Homo-oligomer: A and B are copies of this chain.
Amino acid sequence: MAHVHKLVLKGQTVPISTIQRIIKNNVNQCRKVSTNQGLWAAKTHDENTSSPVPVGEVKRYATDCMVSVGVKEDHASALADVLVAADYRGHYSHGLNRLEMYVQDIKSKICDGNAIPTVLKDKYSTALVNGQNSLGPVVGNFCMNLAIEKAKKHGVGWVAANNSNHYGIAGWYSMLAANQGLMGLSFTSTSPLVAPTRAKTATLGTNPITLAAPALNGDQFVLDMATCTVAVGKIELQRRKGLPIPEGWAIDTDGKITTSADVAMKGCLMPLGGAEETSGYKGYGLATLVEIFCGISAGATYGPNIRRWMDTKRKADLGQCFIAVDPECFASGFQTRMSDLMSHLRHMEPADPTKPILVAGDPERAHIALVDAEGGIRYHVNQINASAALAEKLKVKPMKHI
């Protein structure tokens, strides 16, 4: 457990006063919440929440599951790291929740858990990598480590990968770079769920963008955002509660904006910005930028050619992009200016005194602090039950609560 803590927390230390302020103002409402990348809203702890599961135990369990279906230890561990990091940071949609999907991909041989990515083209600052259909985190770590090496030598490393798979939270890879004092960026194309502005069918993915940049004393700016307004999970949540959704989240099958969660589930997600009058075409443009950096650059599938979500009949062939940049190549004092800007933002007067201004990465830091304080991650009971069932099916030791 200590090992995993260090792995995930590396470079994440922030001034204790900041954490305390964030926790005080947010964390009581912020448990078990963030089913989406970047979600700042929150809900309170309830009877459906488990007792804490130590972070190291979650890692052990996820690794065991992957090993049990034939994935070698280091690849299983790489995947487990990314899934655990998602839950630890509060992005439960991308953590244990996805483990069975990865297990299934290995069992059906749609993904080759033991394949090693290879470099197809290499120039000073760039590389094209064939992911060899390996696990997304194996490809992602390979590519970002290559980008980091190039950035240290040449200032920038820009690596595009084809033939990859789901790589978990995009922020994992940008933070690999930030933990070494670099700016890190990553992008991945994903299955079509988002309709371009004016269209009524989905042809672009939720296509995340992430930037992590180091500040003083281990503090970091960590932006990790889908380029659509919200992920499907938030709509599901509203539907489960019988609540409407805000305008700008989704359209119906005729392309009209809907506030019904039921209708939305049959329609499409909207790009960031929502309707055309609120500049949804900018989110659509950003989603296309991600396609260009990923599948288009790497020669992988892109846009409408990417397999549908949960399609397991053909391999994913996802395109991904990893960038590292050494700020020392520009003006010295980068981290000092980062800390100054972040401090300024965090101390701005809020419109609502109970809702402090946050910097990208703060909600996740608050969640990490909560997990550490409680000694583990609390899951929804449905997740706990699903994990127990999976453990039994795979004949691995189930996760142990505190």
Contact = CB atoms under 8 A, between A and B. Distances in A.
Contact of A156 (B158, B283, B296, B337): B158
A309 interface: no
Contacts of A213: 292, 296
A248 B278 contact: yes
A117 to B, nearest CB: 15
A38 interface: yes
A279 interface: yes
Interface string A273-314: 111111101110110110110011111001110000000000
Number of copies: 2
A344 B304 CA distance: 8
Among A158, A247, A279, A302, residue most surrounded by chain B Cβ atoms (within 10 Å): A279
Q: How many residues of A sit at the interface, in one of the four size bands?
A: 35 or more
Contacts of A273: 229, 272-274, 283
A119 B162 CA distance: 36
Given A276-B40, A278-B229, A297-B331, A357 B223 contact: no
Interface of A: 38, 40-41, 120-121, 123-128, 153-156, 158, 160, 162, 183, 196-201, 203, 209, 211, 213, 221, 223, 225, 227, 229-230, 246-249, 251, 254-256, 272-279, 281-283, 285-286, 288-289, 291-292, 295-299, 302-304, 325-327, 329-334, 337-338, 341, 344-345, 348-352, 355-360
Given A121-B329, A296-B341, 7 more contacts: A41-B276, A124-B125, A125-B154, A211-B289, A229-B279, A272-B283, A304-B344
